[in-house]
Structure 1
Amino acid sequence: MKPETPRIDMPRTAQAGEIIRILTKIRHPMETGWRRGGDGKKVPRNRINKFVCDFNGKEVFSADFHSGVSADPYLVFHAKVSGTGTYNFKWEADDGKVFTASAPITTVGV
């Protein structure tokens, strides 16, 4: 399974102070290290272990992933929009790989 660009689903605009829903999804095998492959040998552990979301450099959400998380994990969480800026997303894997994405949001209205 080849990792791909993470998917982010969130509004592009919101009012300052509004609470928005953010959905993230990343394609990843999330191997626990317990499964055996076709050759009978254990498949090496390879999972995303940490997720962090920041808004303009200030952390707004984080999660630690453990072996109970299935392949292609997605998260849904809510965040309060403090103004126009960019949400930055980072996933860290056991093998040292880091996957990133970002999504801008613009405040409108009052």
Structure 2
Amino acid sequence: MTVRTLIKVPKTARRGEVIEISTIIGHPMESGFRPGADGQRLARNIIQRFSCHYNEELVFSAELSAAIAANPLVAFHTVATASGTLRFTWEGDQGFRHSESVAISVA
């Protein structure tokens, strides 16, 4: 399965500055309630968890449910503390797991 993400993080920030982070992931979401061509319900396939680690420290996480939109947008704020890496992880049904990292420079 090909996964597409769009991650918006400032490349630079001042130490102590509150920064906005937003992510979108393209994922073949399925609620588990819709019938397939054979009349049987299609298996649920949603993203259940999202997390963001900043230099290996968890700064944001969310538990998602069947009501989540396809290609979910997750936006949040954190404080720029040091230069390093933001690692984003999405986990879901059917063993789905995808991670991406983005660097940030803090002065």
Q: TM-score per shorter chain, which class?
A: over 0.9
More moved, 18-27 vs 32-41: 32-41
Gaps of 5+ in 2: none
3-state SS in 2 of match to 1:67: coil
Q: How does 1:25-40 map to 2 (within 5 A)?
A: 25-40=24-39
Task: Specify the code of the residue in structure 2 equivalent to 1:16.
Answer: R
**CA RMSD, 1 decimal:** 1.1
Residue matched to 1:61? 60
The amino acid of 1:74's aligned partner reads: L
Letter in 2 for 1:65: L
In structure 2, the residue matched to 1:79 is 78
Amino acid at match of 1:51: F
Q: How many residues align?
A: 107
Identity of matched residues, %: 39
Matches of 2:70 and 2:28 in 1, distance apart? 5
Structure number with the higher strand fraction is 2
TM-score normalized by structure 1?
0.92
Normalized against structure 2, the TM-score is what?
A: 0.94
2:106 match: 107
